[in-house]
Amino acid sequence: MKRVCVALLVCFVLVALSGPAWAIPPFKKGFDDVYGKNADIKKASDEAKCNVCHFGMSKKMKNDYGKALAELLKKDKFKEDRIKAEPDAVKKEIEEALKKVEDQKSKDGEKFGDRLKANKLPGTPES
pLDDT tens for each residue of 79-125: 999 999 999 999 999 999 999 999 999 999 999 999 999 999 999 87
Torsion angle (degrees, nearest 10) of CA 86, 50, 48, 114: 70
* pTM value > 0.75: yes
* Alpha-carbon separation of residue 15 from 18, 51, 57, 61, 96 (angstroms): 5, 20, 11, 18, 37
pLDDT of residue 127: 66
Segment 46-74, tens digit of pLDDT: 999 999 999 988 888 999 999 999 999 99
From the CB of residue 97, how many other CB atoms can be counted at a distance below 10 Å?
17
d(CA 68, CA 119): 19
pLDDT of residue 17: 37
The one-letter amino acid code at 37 reads K
User: What is the structure's pLDDT at 93?
Assistant: 97
Q: Higher confidence at residue 5 or residue 39? A: 39
**Coil, helix or strand at residue 43:** helix
